[in-house]
Chain A
Amino acid sequence: MDTREGMTTEHPENAAAFVANDARLKWHDESLWFVRQKRDRATSVIPEWETLRALGADIKAHTLSRLADYLEEFEQKATALGAHVHFARDAEEHNRIVHGLLARANVTRVVKSKSMLTEQCGLNHYLEAHGIEVIDTDLGERIVQLRHEPPSHIVMPAIHLKKEEIGDLFHDTMGAASGTSDPKVLTEVARGRLRGNLLAAQAGITGVNFAIAETGGVVVCTNEGNADLGTSIPPLHIACMGIEKVIPRAKDLGVFLRLLARSATGQPVTAYSSHFHGPRPGGELHIVIVDHGRSAILGREHYRRTLQCIRCGACMNTCPVYRRSGGHSYGVTVPGPLGAVLAPHIDPKKHRSLPFASTLCGSCSDVCPVQIDLHQQLLLWRGELGHAELIPLRKRAASQLAGWVLARTWAYEFLGRIARWILPKLPKALLRANDWGRQRELPPAPKESFRELYRRRRGQ
């Protein structure tokens, strides 16, 4: 969870820069809202949707309650199928293991299907620094890779870009005719290029959506079939997953496949759900299971539920703040409400503004297919940051003062009266120089407060 180049770690500043481009703001908001509506339609035809969510949440909560056992079972079963299972404590170890496997097989060209975990671990940079070429095969992922920037969304990595911008990019990098902005044409151009990359690849890296303890198999969901292509040509397949991806039984998979695609894109199911049960004949399958801070979250009762996440991205699509500030404004691999509760675990000081990048509207909690109480967690983080004195001093002092006043009726009444008396007398310029008044009028300042009116009415 690195901080992005050129971005501060303060969400309000990054967000203001995004908001400043009104056209992009509107279009970004509308594109994601469109996906949210598609999700609404897709879930409305499932009468048991809420039951399904509860079931998904229960299965995940159960799995987390005995995660070590299920991981062990998974390791045994996967090994029995002929896969090699590796455990990595953190990003560094994960990258080292993957590189080791590639180096051993003399691999210099790798294709990767979208994986937020490897993104989080900075795998591409690591491999490139070791002289290995990595090509992302997911179209959106390839686009941001060519632009040398991180994904702005976990499911739709290039959602922040307009098709014209992608046309320009493809003109510069892939020889597309200048001025092309037809998505179909652009996709064809990219496809042509990717075909070459796929044929030349010596290894394929994929993420993992679900790892089944009972069978030892892993499942990867894509819409472009790139996980299959990337693993069926080269003989070496490396699948990278976080420890929380395991589910107990094969029959649990159906619950999550139904929840995932509908929540992510409003599709009944992803176009490809690829199952890998052991290596293909003559090939090698390595599964790298990464902790990277997850077991620390597991140990924290309040926050444990975030590990139930199936990375559908619905919380981002629904989040009114994400839609209007863009994924890059969060400065971390996983943006939005989910990212805002995950990032502070890694570095609370650096990401202290993220739990405040929310109105606590609660839409994320209600949309989440596995019932993670995201907005509650944001609130808890605020308390924790306050407790650790990681909130800017000015803000903390203001809260302390307000707390003191509000606990004392006389002080509250006295200051209220002064505020109502002074506000109308203040020069306009002053009122318009602060963050409330710059774009909004202040509320009216009535002569009498409610309690004064009440006293008068009751003749007190």
Chain B
Amino acid sequence: MIDIALFIPCYVDQFYPKVGLATLELLERYGARVDYPQAQTCCGQPVFNSGSFDAAKPIADKFLEVFSSYQYIVCPSGSCTSMVRNHYAELVPDRIAELRSKTFELCEFLHDVLGAKPEGRFAHRVGLHASCHGLRELRLASGSERRVQPFDKVRSLLSGLEGIEFADLSRGDECCGFGGTFAVGEEAVSVAMGNGRIADHERGGAEIITGGDMSCLMHLDGLLRRQKKPIRVMHVAEILAEATGGHGHT
């Protein structure tokens, strides 16, 4: 049986526990043994991206201490996964190799490792928000800048669901403007970017905006709720858990 350590990012733990639960249920549904090491806190990204590399180092050390012994580490966030996989090299250079090969973003893990083909029903029109770190640092999809064979792991997981429709976006993978502390440090641009993304999803007729990073969705949701717009946000894990619940899986 596959042994998985769940890595639930700090803000998901505190503000979006349901996303954590959906992730847990989903992975268990695919027959994995899932453990949530309770000593975990955060990957250190907010501190690291703010330029305090020295303050981020003890957090990375702690991460290693908590997670090193597991076969796989799976996280419902592209950004936090990328922090561990791509940026821990700055913080814990000599121990990065072991982490790199076994840390996965949730959709990536379902798609690449488990070969999952989720089935179930989700009769909604969703707008897929490709989060930048998942897209360009983890390569979960091909990205509009590069001229490579097109692929999209998140979309292919979702597209097996019955009744699901995707909103057509005019800018498929433009950044939503969250960017961690950017959201407060550059409030004006951040909000302008978020509103631009929302307008695109509205044009595409999305009822729900989904994606692999709750942080981007938190920013968009904050704007949507303030402007009292009817679009909801859901993490991909929530959609998959809801749709596949009771239907079994392949």
Instruction: List the interface of chain A (C-beta within 8 A of B).
Output: 11-12, 15-16, 19-20, 25, 29, 33, 40, 43-44, 46-47, 49-50, 318, 320-321, 324-325, 355-363, 365-367, 379, 382-387, 391, 395-396, 398-400, 402-409, 412, 416, 419-420, 434-436, 438-446, 448-455
* Given A406-B59, A409-B41, A40-B144 contact (CB < 8 Å): yes
* Given A362-B137, A402-B47, A440-B219, A49-B185 contact (CB < 8 Å): no
Instruction: List the interface of chain B (C-beta within 8 A of A).
Output: 8, 10-21, 24, 36, 38-42, 44, 46-56, 58-59, 61-62, 87, 90, 132-133, 135-137, 143-148, 171, 174-175, 177-194, 196, 218-219, 221-223, 225-226
Supply 29 A–B pairs (Cβ within 8 Å), ascending by A.
A12-B188, A43-B147, A320-B193, A359-B182, A363-B132, A366-B136, A366-B145, A382-B50, A386-B53, A387-B53, A391-B52, A395-B50, A399-B51, A400-B52, A403-B44, A403-B59, A406-B10, A416-B14, A419-B14, A420-B15, A434-B184, A439-B223, A440-B191, A444-B16, A450-B14, A450-B17, A454-B20, A454-B38, A455-B38
Distance in angstroms from B225 CB to nearest chain A CB is 4
Q: In the complex the two chains form, is B191's CB within 8 Å of A446's CB?
A: no
Q: In the complex the two chains form, is B13's CB within 8 Å of A360's CB?
A: no
Contacts of B8 in A (CB 8 A): 450-451
Q: In the complex the two chains form, is A49's CB within 8 Å of B147's CB?
A: yes
Complex CA distance for A113 and B188, rounded to whole angstroms: 36
Distance in angstroms from B228 CB to nearest chain A CB is 10
Q: In the complex the two chains form, is B223's CB within 8 Å of A367's CB?
A: no
Distance in angstroms from B25 CB to nearest chain A CB is 10
Distance in angstroms from B55 CB to nearest chain A CB is 3
Closest residue on chain A to residue B215 by CB atoms: A443
* Given A25-B192, A412-B10, A445-B15, A391-B50 contact (CB < 8 Å): yes
Q: In the complex the two chains form, is A451's CB within 8 Å of B50's CB?
A: no
Distance in angstroms from A19 CB to nearest chain B CB is 4
Q: In the complex the two chains form, is A407's CB within 8 Å of B62's CB?
A: yes
Contacts of B21 in A (CB 8 A): 450, 453-454
Distance in angstroms from B237 CB to nearest chain A CB is 12
Contacts of A40 in B (CB 8 A): 144-145
Contacts of B49 in A (CB 8 A): 360, 379, 382
Complex CA distance for A453 and B24, rounded to whole angstroms: 11
Closest residue on chain B to residue A417 by CB atoms: B14
Q: In the complex the two chains form, is A450's CB within 8 Å of B62's CB?
A: no
Contacts of B13 in A (CB 8 A): 416, 449-451
Contacts of A11 in B (CB 8 A): 186
Distance in angstroms from A89 CB to nearest chain B CB is 31
Return the contact of A412 from the options B41, B53, B135 (Cβ within 8 A).
Answer: B41
* Given A46-B147, A363-B145, A440-B226, A446-B15 contact (CB < 8 Å): yes
Q: In the complex the two chains form, is A363's CB within 8 Å of B186's CB?
A: no
Complex CA distance for A29 and B223, rounded to whole angstroms: 20
Complex CA distance for A406 and B137, rounded to whole angstroms: 24
